[in-house]
C-alpha cells in the first residue's frame, strides 16, 4: 500500500492500518532498533512501542515521508530504551561507539539550542559529497556498523573509516567557523 494511503488511514483512525504498517515497515524498523539496542527482544519491544507512538502522533503530524518519520520514531524510541536499560552500566554498541566518535567534534548540547545545532549540521551535510553524506548519516543517525556501511555502499571498511574521520574533522572546523565552541 502506498504511504499516502497509509497516512490517510492513520488520520481516519483505522486500526487495521497498524498491521499494514507492521508488514510493510516492520523489518526496516527492527533493523534500526537492533542497530541501537543489539538485542532482538529489545528491538521487538521497541518496534511495538513505535506503532503506539505512530498511532498517537499522526493526528498532530502529517509527515511527507512515512519511511523517514518511522525511522525517526524508531531511532528515538530505541535510544530511550537503551538509556533506560543502561542507566548504570554502559555496554559497547554501535550507538555508544558512534556517539564516542562524535564527542570530539560536537559541542555540548547544554550550551546551544539543539534545533540551531541541527540546522547547522544539516547545512554542513549539504556541503559534503553524496557518498560522505550517506556514510555519515548511516553511521551517526542510523547507527550502522562500519561493516554494514562498507557492504551497503560497496566500499572497503578502511574507506568508510577514512571518510568518517575526514567528515568529522570537516564538521569540527565548520562548527568552529559557525561560532560553536568544541
**Whole-number percent of the chain with pLDDT over 90:** 48
Which of 58-67, 95-104, 114-123, 143-152 has the highest mean predicted lDDT (pLDDT)? 143-152
Residue 90, pLDDT above cutoff 60: no
Position 114 confidence tier, pLDDT thresholds 50, 70, 90: low
- For residues 33 and 41, give the distance between their C-alpha atoms in angstroms, rounded to a whole number: 10
- For residues 43 and 49, give the distance between their C-alpha atoms in angstroms, rounded to a whole number: 10
- CATH 1.10.10.10 range(s) for the chain read 94-177
**Is 142:35 a contact under the CB 8 Å cutoff?**
yes
Residue 94, pLDDT above cutoff 80: no
For the whole prediction, is pTM greater than 0.85? Answer: no
Q: Average per-residue pLDDT in the chain?
A: 86
**Span 58-85, average pLDDT:** 86
- For residues 182 and 180, give the distance between their C-alpha atoms in angstroms, rounded to a whole number: 6
User: 3-class SS at 9?
Assistant: helix
Place of cell 518496534: 47
Please give the residue that has the higher pLDDT: either 181 or 130.
Answer: 130
Residue 110, pLDDT above cutoff 80: no
What secondary structure does DSSP assign to 145-156, as a single string?
-HHHHHHHHTS-
CATH code reported for the domain at 3-85: 1.10.1740.10
Residue 6, pLDDT above cutoff 80: yes
pLDDT tens by residue, 148-168: 999 999 999 999 999 999 999
Counting other chains too, the contacts that 121-130 makes at CB distance below 8 Å and 24 or more residues apart are: 121/171, 124/170, 124/171, 124/174, 124/175, 127/174, 128/167, 128/170
**pLDDT of res. 91:** 47
- According to DSSP H, which parts of 107-178 are helical? 114-126, 130-140, 146-153, 157-177
Q: Domain 94-177 falls in which CATH fold?
A: Arc Repressor Mutant, subunit A (1.10.10)
**pLDDT of res. 58:** 80
- CATH 1.10.1740.10 range(s) for the chain read 3-85
Residue 170, pLDDT above cutoff 90: yes
- For residues 14 and 40, give the distance between their C-alpha atoms in angstroms, rounded to a whole number: 29
Residue 106, pLDDT above cutoff 50: yes
Amino acid at each position: 500500500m502506498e504511504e499516502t494511503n497509509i497516512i490517510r488511514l492513520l488520520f481516519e483512525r483505522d486500526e487495521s492500518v497498524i498491521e499494514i504498517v507492521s508488514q510493510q515497515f516492520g523489518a526496516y524498523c527492527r533493523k534500526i532498533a537492533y542497530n541501537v539496542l543489539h538485542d532482538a527482544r529489545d528491538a521487538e519491544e521497541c518496534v511495538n512501542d513505535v506503532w503506539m507512538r505512530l498511532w498517537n502522533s499522526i493526528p498532530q503530524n502529517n509527515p511527507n515521508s512515512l519511511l523517514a518519520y518511522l525511522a525517526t520514531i524508531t531511532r528515538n524510541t530505541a535510544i530511550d530504551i537503551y538509556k533506560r536499560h543502561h542507566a548504570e552500566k554502559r555496554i559497547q554498541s554501535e550507538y555508544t561507539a558512534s556517539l564516542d566518535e562524535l564527542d570530539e567534534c560536537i559541542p555540548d548540547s547544554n550550551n546551544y539550542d539543539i534545533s540551531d545545532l541541527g540546522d547547522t549540521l544539516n547545512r554542513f551535510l549539504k556541503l559534503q559529497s553524496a557518498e560522505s553524506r550517506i556514510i555519515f548519516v548511516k553511521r551517526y543517525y542510523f547507527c550502522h556498523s562500519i561493516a554494514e556501511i562498507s557492504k551497503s555502499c560497496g566500499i572497503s571498511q578502511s574507506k568508510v573509516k577514512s571518510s568518517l574521520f575526514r567528515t568529522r574533522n570537516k564538521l569540527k572546523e565548520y562548527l568552529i567557523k559557525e561560532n560553536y565552541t568544541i
